[in-house]
Structure formats: structure tokens, C-alpha cells
Amino acid sequence: MEKRKMTLGIIGMVALLATAIIAFLPGQAMATPKSHEYGNVVIDRAAKKNQGQPVIFRHWSHRAKHSCRLCHVDLEFSMEPNATGIKEEDNKNGRYCGTCHNGKDTFSITECTKCHAKDANDAEKMEAEAKQAFLTLTKSLPRSPYGNKIDWNKAEEENKISAKDFIEGVSFPKKDLVKNTRNEPRNPTLPGLPGIIFSHNKHVAWTGCGMCHPEPYALESGKTKMSMKEITGGKFCGVCHGKVAFPLSDCSNCHSKPVAQ
């Protein structure tokens, strides 16, 4: 009986938390993209100008091989879609996509049709191929109920994926940096919700320090003030969570500390 009460209590808390998140959303319902589309970025600045097909950047295919920090810090990719301003000349000179797509580490940028569809029919074919590649990838990785249905943290911890985090001549050595592995508790502003536990260890594995500090988070613990409304609006945790990292609907991943009795 006690176990049943505890289970019902947890279900109730999660439901309350989900209701709170929905209430904070900026005037729209949460969209639920298909698992193989979650985290996709449409790069269409040049496509709009030249009336061509956009490039679909699939985070899941790159995340299985690279850390977030490698691309968004070392390779200087913006966190905002279409804000990097990539030009063909940049890629040919070994910047951005051209850093890895060089014909040695992976296919060359000269193999245009792997990213740039010729027409709408070709784009549909590429999408079908990408979906099949995604399904093949997920067979070997631990599952998650939200986002693209892959538990990336567990996959990294179990060495089922190996995220590259260094490129010679581009990245700076990080072996001497102090690795922050501490958990930091946070108290939710709404009463009756499970407490928040922020894991530095899980984030450092993917983002390092530079993607979070000194912006948008101050270096001093507890100095940065934030709200759920801001997070659901795409700030702070919402910069990644809900776009690429697991969505905000996966409440218990953050609100995991039991409510004080």
C-alpha cells in the first residue's frame, strides 16, 4: 500500500510539473516532432536567395560522433539557426563543415548531393534515407521516452558512442582543465514540485565549460536568476533543452530530488 501511494504521489508531481511548464509556454502548445526529426536544423539562407532546396542538418547523426562543444566553440557554429553565415568559400578553405568534410575524416564537401538536394523529389528521397539511418542507429543505443528517443547520456557513459572532442590545429588542449563533477541542488519556485539537481558531470561531457560560462550562466553558483517562463521561451536551459537536448517535457531528468516531507 505504501509503495502504491508513493507511485501515485510521483505521478501526481510529474503531472503537476508538466502542467506548470505548459502554463509558462509563450502562447503556444508544445510541438512534438517525430523522433528522427527532433533537433533537425533547416539551413535555408542561400536556398531562399537562390530558390533552391534547403540543407537539413541532423543533430543526431553528428551527436553520435562529436561533442556539442567541438562544433559550437572550436568550429564557431552559432547556437542560432542560420546565424553562422556559412559560405561555400569558407567550407572550401577548411572552416565550418569543411573542417571535417574533407574526404579524409568523412565525405568531402565536393560531394554536394549528400547535403544539397537537387529538387523536391530528391529532398524526399534524402529524408527517407536519413530516417532509415536513424532507425539503424537507435537499435544499438539506449532508449529514452522523449525527444529523439535516444538516451545520449547513458550511451556516452556506456561507451556505445565516442564523441570526438578535439581537432588538431583547431581545438585547444583540455587535459589540464579541472573537471567539475559536482551536483548542484536548485529549489523550484512552485511549491510541491520535486527539487532540481543540476549535474555538472553530465554537461561537461558534452558542452565543456565555454558553452555555458560566462554566458548565459555566471561563474558563481546561484548568481544567475532564471524562471521556467524564460526557459520555455528559449533562454538559459531552454537554449538546448527542447531544441536538441532532451525536451522540457522530460521533467524528471531535472526535477529528480524528492519533495521534502
Q: Tell me the DSSP string of 73-121.
A: IIS---SSTT-S---HHHHHTT-GGGGT-SSSSS--TT-GGGTS-SSHH
236: left (phi over 0), alpha (psi -120 to 50) or beta: left
| Residues in Cβ contact with 18 at an 8 Å cutoff, skipping those fewer than 6 apart | 249, 251
Measured over all CA atoms, what is the biggest interatomic distance in the chain, rounded to whole angstroms? 67
In the structure grid, which three cell numbers stand for residue 116, read together? 544539397
Neighbours of 261 (CB within 10 A): 3
Query: Does this model's pTM top 0.85?
Result: no
Determine whether domain 177-261 maps to CATH 3.90.10.10: yes
Q: Give, as one character, the DSSP assignment of residue 72.
A: I
pLDDT at 107: 95
pLDDT at 52: 76
Superfamily of domain 41-154 in CATH is Cytochrome C3 (3.90.10.10)
| Burial of 70 (C-beta count, 10 Å sphere; 0-12/13-18/19+) | buried
Q: What is the mean pLDDT of each run of 10 residues along the chain (261 residues)?
A: 44 46 46 89 79 89 95 94 91 95 94 91 96 96 95 94 92 70 85 88 89 92 90 95 93 82 51
The torsion angles phi and psi of 199, rounded to 5 degrees, stand at -100, 110
Every domain of the chain with CATH number 3.90.10.10 lies at: 41-154, 177-261
